[in-house]
Amino acid sequence: MLSRASLGAATAMALLFTGSALAETITIATVNNGDMIRMQGYTDDFTAKTGHTVEWVTLEENVLRQRVTTDITTKGGQFDIMTIGMYETPIWGANGWLIPLDDLSAEYDVDDILPAMRGGLSHDGTLYAAPFYGESSMVMYRTDLMAAAGLEMPDAPTWEFIAEAARAMTDRENDINGVCLRGKAGWGEGGAFITVTANSFGARWFDEDWNAQFDQPEWAEALNFFVGLMADAGPPGYSTNGFNENLSLFQQGKCGMWIDATVAASFVTNPNDSTVADKVGFALAPDTGLGKRSNWLWAWALAIPAGTQKEAAAKEFIEWATSKEYIELVAKNEGWANVPPGARTSLYENPEYQKVPFAQMTLDSINAADPTNPTVKPVPYVGIQFVAIPEFAGIATEVSQEFSAAYAGQQTVEEALEKAQALTNDAMEAAGYR
Amino acid sequence: MARAVTTRRKVITTAAAWAIGLLIFFPIYWTILTSFKTEAQAINDPPLFFAFNWTLENYAIVQERSDYMRFLWNSVILAGGSTVLGILVAVPAAWSMAFVPSKRTKDILLWMLSTKMLPAVGVLYPISLLFVQFNLLDTRIGLVMVLMLINLPIIVWMLYTYFKEIPGEILEAARMDGATLKEEILYILTPMAVPGIASTILLNFILAWNEAFWTLNLTAAQSAPLTAFIASYSSPEGLFFAKLSAASTMAIAPILILGWFSQKQLVRGLTFGAVK
């Protein structure tokens, strides 16, 4: 009897002290894209290693954003890990809504995270989300059409060259557009693209006192350039084209150039989906010689909401999913072109990965982006294609709607800029910035 | 005097009805067709109507990736539960409005309907906070309540309209024969209003099945219905049209089949009282 009681007590003590090692079920909210879905397929590997099981809630990007924002602001506690981006992370970290990731294990090697990604996912030097994959934007172009136009794409082109090449490659009779760019309304769609384009023309969203800058000549120059270029060499109806529409056009051989997210490189070079897979070249996003390129920086990252009851298991998952071992696991099973890009320095030092045609240009594009110093003139904000303040998503959506209306010919560029200026200043005044 | 219907008129009317019917059905047809294409074929320009290699690959991927039966079961519980609960609340409410109206009955009816004019997102935070407070997040019972409440104005309005068509004298006669209120509603009113109640049940089942705001915002892993299943295949960065179409086809199939078999009741109920 005594020995049975002792055994029971010993088991209870062991369970008490190894509480963190108990198998848990964690719930993860994530976005629907190729890399995230691939990760879900490897969940068994994580379960085998740790004993923890995972429940996935996969949602479309905009639905996910609304869902996790509601959950974290109402302390709903439905998720143990949330997939969030560079826009949300510093704001939520500053509000104390996320658990700091400052005690990751030595094997995890946090210093291996690309500095641009680590900086964008931190607040006051503390990391709040671990990047699962990162991206910038770059030029993807048809090498055959470029050669036929008698031109050669430099590694770091200017907007002037892009415009010249786009007009030369345009062949309306054969349904080939010189350049396909985002015009669709939405802060993360056309809004992101025109913001980085404007950055390269010397424009900025706000001056140091949070006054809107749409009345400045740089914005007019950038927007008029964009509208003129797209009228001459863009696809019809580009004001409603976002990432997917342009991807579809490019894969069907209807674009000479496409400037968009670096993750698209693996799509357009995949012969199963793309008709031009073997004719694609890459270059840095263009500039105007002012010192800023028109490329953005983004990461989908994993964060732990404050208040979760399963912090230890959630951290174990994040360490597994964003580790070097996970990258090797994917590479072993699906090839190096399919590993999540843009998060770790060691990936780009790997000789096998260096053979992937878009690897170096992706790294160069990410390194060319600086969220803390995004514009030619000084600004009071962090973020390249966004301004990391809570009000930005709402304001930028409205601004991009005005711009899209100008692209569609429903109003002039001047009218769109005038409205953007007024609505931005009104919103910033209401929010107490001015 | 009956109007003579010429053959020509009949042909034109039939052709117009078919044209409108096909136009309305086209998006569903296109979704089903796309679900049998590869992702590359799904975005092909010009669009491919029949000449492509039909594949079941998307259905296999969707089946492998998602637990369809769990989403389906949640949809059945949520749509069925909210409809039954709604009918239980609405029948007595509609009875009192139709047969014992007060001076304010019309105002109450209009007020009930006015709640449908508020965009759902306007009350997202209050409802979310209530759900957090009462531990209802990601529970079926919480969602059944919400879906019942948002459809209640429509249920009451529909039942009120049907009940108004039933002569009050019949109920009066039942009362004179000694029927209690419960017996009057259960054994006299309800059997007479069966077509109306059936169409109300069907319509509300469909509305609850398709509801895609609260079912996305108040669920996580446990109680998410087919709307969340569809949302997990949509993406602004990556082409998932064929898989999304397969998921959509799987999500609408049950309700499409239900609607097909019950269309007679649905039409009869919806036109009940329309022609005197």
The pTM of the full predicted model, rounded to 2 decimals, is 0.86
A158 and A194 housed in the same domain: yes
Residue A223 included in any domain: yes
A223 Cβ contact list (under 8 Å, min separation 6): A194, A198, A403, A406, A413, A416, A417
What is the model's pLDDT at position A18? 43
What are the chain A neighbours of B220 within 8 Å (beta carbons)?
A: 27, 29, 55, 57, 78-79
Contact (CB<8Å) A188/B224: no
What is the model's pLDDT at position B168? 86
A36 Cα to chain B: minimum distance (Å)? 11
DSSP at A270: -
Contact (CB<8Å) A33/B235: yes
In total, how many domains does chain A have? 2
A425 and A279 housed in the same domain: yes
**CA–CA gap between residue B170 and residue B149 (Å, rounded):** 31
A277 and A305 housed in the same domain: no
A79 Cα to chain B: minimum distance (Å)? 8
> Out of B129, B239, B240, whose CB is closest to A74?
B129
pLDDT band at B51 (very low <50, low <70, confident <90, very high): confident
pLDDT, tens digit, 9 for 90 and up, residues A359-381? 999 999 999 898 889 999 999 99
Residue B274, pLDDT > 60, answer: no
Residue A425, pLDDT > 80, answer: yes
Contact (CB<8Å) A244/B236: yes
Identify the CATH number of the domain in which residue A10 sits: 3.40.190.10
A429 Cβ under 8 Å from any chain B Cβ:
no
A106 and A210 housed in the same domain: no
Average pLDDT over residues A135-162: 97
pLDDT band at B13 (very low <50, low <70, confident <90, very high): very high
Contact (CB<8Å) B231/A74: no
Q: How far is CA A347 from CA A72, A341, B3, B43, B78, in A?
A: 33, 8, 81, 33, 47
B249 Cα to chain A: minimum distance (Å)? 18
What is the model's pLDDT at position A344? 96
**CA–CA gap between residue A215 and residue A209 (Å, rounded):** 15
Rg of chain B in Å (alpha carbons):
23
Average pLDDT across chain A, whole number: 93
A398 Cβ under 8 Å from any chain B Cβ:
no
A40 Cβ under 8 Å from any chain B Cβ:
yes
A219 and A89 housed in the same domain: no
Counting one residue from chain A and one from chain B, the pairs whose CB atoms sit within 8 A come to 95
What is the model's pLDDT at position A4? 53
What is the model's pLDDT at position B265? 75
Average pLDDT over residues A383-410: 96
> Out of B221, B235, B237, whose CB is closest to A57?
B221
Write the secondary structure of chain B as one string of H (helix), E (strand) and C (coil).
CCCCCCHHHHHHHHHHHHHHHHHHHHHHHHHHHHCCCCHHHHCCCCCCCCCCCCCCHHHHHHHHHCCHHHHHHHHHHHHHHHHHHHHHHHHHHHHHHHHCCCCCHHHHHHHHHHHHHCCHHHHHHHHHHHHHHCCCCCCHHHHHHHHHHHHHHHHHHHHHHHHHCCCHHHHHHHHHCCCCHHHHHHHHHHHHCHHHHHHHHHHHHHHHHHCCCHHHHCCCCCCCCHHHHHHCCCCCCCCCHHHHHHHHHHHHHHHHHHHHHCHHHHHHHHCCCCCC
What is the model's pLDDT at position A9? 52
Contact (CB<8Å) B228/A33: no
Residue A365 included in any domain: no
* Residue A333, H or E segment: helix A324-334
Residue B20, pLDDT > 90, answer: yes
pLDDT, tens digit, 9 for 90 and up, residues A64-89? 999 999 999 999 999 999 999 999 99
Is the separation of the CB atoms in A85 and A261 below 8 Å? Answer: no
Residue A2, pLDDT > 50, answer: no
The larger pLDDT score, comparing residue A17 to residue A93, is at A93
What are the chain B neighbours of A242 within 8 Å (beta carbons)?
A: 236
A258 and A109 housed in the same domain: no
Residue B102, pLDDT > 60, answer: yes
Q: Lowest mean pLDDT of A159-163, A164-168, A176-180, A352-356, name the range.
A: A352-356
B36 Cα to chain A: minimum distance (Å)? 16
For testing contact with chain A, the best of B58, B131, B235 (most A CBs within 10 A): B235
pLDDT band at B3 (very low <50, low <70, confident <90, very high): low
What is the model's pLDDT at position A346? 96
Domain range summary for chain B, segments of one domain joined by +: 66-232
Q: Quote the percentage of chain B above a pLDDT of 70.
A: 96
Residue of B nearest to A243 (CA): B237
**E strand residue ranges, A226-319:** 255-261, 280-284, 297-303
Average pLDDT over residues A109-133: 95
CATH superfamily for B66-232 is MetI-like (1.10.3720.10)
A311 and A409 housed in the same domain: no
Residue A367 included in any domain: no
Instruction: Provide the residue range defining the domain that includes A348.
Output: 2-135+298-359
A113 and A237 housed in the same domain: no
Tokens, residue A361: 């240009």
What is the model's pLDDT at position A17? 42
Contact (CB<8Å) A60/B65: no
B232 Cα to chain A: minimum distance (Å)? 4
pLDDT, tens digit, 9 for 90 and up, residues A21-69? 589 999 999 998 888 999 999 999 999 999 999 999 999 888 999 999 9
A144 Cα to chain B: minimum distance (Å)? 21
Residue A372 included in any domain: no
pLDDT, tens digit, 9 for 90 and up, residues B174-202? 989 999 988 988 898 888 888 889 889 99
A261 Cα to chain B: minimum distance (Å)? 9
Q: Lowest mean pLDDT of A178-192, A292-306, B192-206, name the range.
A: B192-206
For testing contact with chain B, the best of A70, A137, A275 (most B CBs within 10 A): A70
Residue of A nearest to B44 (CA): A252
Contact (CB<8Å) B44/A254: no
Residue B273, pLDDT > 70, answer: no
pLDDT, tens digit, 9 for 90 and up, residues B69-92? 999 999 999 999 999 999 999 999
Is the separation of the CB atoms in A347 and A341 below 8 Å? Answer: yes
What are the chain A neighbours of B246 within 8 Å (beta carbons)?
A: none
Contact (CB<8Å) B237/A57: no
Residue of A nearest to B213 (CA): A63
Contact (CB<8Å) A60/B124: no
pLDDT, tens digit, 9 for 90 and up, residues B140-170? 999 999 999 999 999 999 999 989 888 888 8
Contact (CB<8Å) A70/B65: no
* Residue A14, H or E segment: helix A2-17
Average pLDDT across chain B, whole number: 90
Average pLDDT over residues B111-137: 92
Residue A366 included in any domain: no
A205 and A111 housed in the same domain: no
Residue A93 included in any domain: yes
Residue A370 included in any domain: no
Which ipTM value was assigned to this complex? 0.83
pLDDT band at A414 (very low <50, low <70, confident <90, very high): very high
B21 Cα to chain A: minimum distance (Å)? 29
Residue A14, pLDDT > 50, answer: no
